[in-house]
Every structure is written in C-alpha cells, then in structure tokens.
Structure 1
C-alpha cells in the first residue's frame, strides 16, 4: 500500500494539469475587407492624372 499511494497521488496531480483545448464556431460570420486594393488603385490613377496635368501645364505653379 505504501508503494502504490505515491504513484496514485502523482497520477492525480498530473491528470489535473492536462491542458484543455476547445474549438468554437464564431457567432458572427467572418468578413474580409478588400477596400485597401480599391483605394490603392484610385490613388494611383489620381496621382498619374496629376502628374500628366503638371507636365502639360507648367504655369500652374
């Protein structure tokens, strides 16, 4: 009995320390925002138009 008791105590302590991992489904749907690419394209187009305008009209500045 004296040899079994420490083994049982160690087993109980180790089983109490096992990590628990849960996988849960989110309540809200996942959304992906793609506005970054659209804003980038608009900005590039505006910058190109401004460069063309400055090249054509030297008297602006």
Structure 2
C-alpha cells in the first residue's frame, strides 16, 4: 500500500496547480457590459387633454351685433 501525501507530489503537478489558481479565481469574477439597445426607445404617453371654452357676452353687445352687424 502506497501512501502519497500532498507534500510528496511531483514538482510539475504542484506548478500546474499553482499556475491554474489565478485562472480559476479570474473565471469566477463577474463582468459588466454596457450595450446600446437595438431598437429605438419609445415613450408612450397616454394623456387626455380636455378643454372647455366659455364665452360670456353681455346682452347689449349681443343685440348690437345681431341687429346692425359689426360695421
């Protein structure tokens, strides 16, 4: 029965494991990417515009326009 401990591993295996450690740590880091949208930005505004105009005319002015006209 052979018992191989970690310290007795060959030098090439230890070098390979130590060399792969930064690659493994770098692979776990998240990346952030900013990409422009492919379709245009649309803004949908559902706005209801309602207005009322009230015209108040004096009775005398109304009679003046209806009888003689403006000029």
Q: Relative contact order (alpha carbons < 8 A, sep ≥ 6): 1 or 2 greater?
A: 1
Same fold (TM over 0.5): no
Larger Rg: 2
Structure with the larger helix share? 1
> TM bucket by the smaller chain?
0.3 to 0.5
How does the TM-score come out when normalised to structure 2? Answer: 0.37
- Provide TM-score, normalisation by structure 1: 0.42
